[in-house]
Each structure stands twice: as C-alpha cells, then as structure tokens.
C-alpha cells in the first residue's frame, strides 16, 4: 500500500454525554486552532476541517461514536495528543 502523505491519524470514541455539539465543539475547534498543523475529523467517510465549527457540527458527532482525528504538520503528534485528551478527559 502506497502512502501519499506523512499524515498521522488516531481513532477516538466520544465519551461526553452530548458529543461534539455546540459548547463542546467550540472548545474542540479552539484547541485545534492552537496547532500549526492541518487537522481534520473524519466520520463515516466524511472528512472536515477540525478548525471549522460548522464543519465539525455538520458531522453530528454523538456520544459513543468513534471518529478519526487526522493531522499533518510540524506539531501533528502534539495536535492529536491534545485533541484526544480534550475529548476523553475535558469535555462535558
């Protein structure tokens, strides 16, 4: 299998009670905007910019859904670590 880019990705299951809607989504995109890397969220073959509130909200991410975080750039590992930690430990 040929790899066209050096992007990294990680799957994360949403644990907070309301998913990535409204307030939690705002916190998520604020965190994503803190990284230099390009960051995307993928769910059910749809991929959106993680730095776009409308994009993230359009995925309809609810509790117990698994999403894929994808990052590409100079701080891509930090971006995935930070966003995963936010989703698993800080959102409510």
Pairing of strands 38-43, 66-72: antiparallel
Q: In residues, how long is the chain?
A: 92
Burial class (CB in 10 A: 0-12, 13-18, 19+), 47: middle
21 is catalytic: yes
- Of 18, 21, 38, 57, the active-site residue reads 21
Distance of CA 41 to the CA centre of its chain: 4
Known catalytic residues are 21
């Amino acid at each position: 299998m040929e790899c066209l880019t050096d992007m990294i990705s990680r799957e994360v299951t949403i644990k907070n009670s309301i998913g990535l809607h409204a307030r939690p989504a705002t916190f998520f995109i604020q965190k994503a905007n803190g990284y230099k890397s390009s960051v995307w969220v993928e769910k059910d073959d749809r991929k959106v910019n993680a730095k776009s509130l409308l994009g993230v909200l359009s995925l309809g991410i609810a509790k117990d859904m698994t999403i894929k975080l994808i990052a590409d750039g100079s701080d891509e590992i930090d971006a995935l670590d930070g966003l995963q930690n936010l989703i698993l430990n800080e959102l409510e």
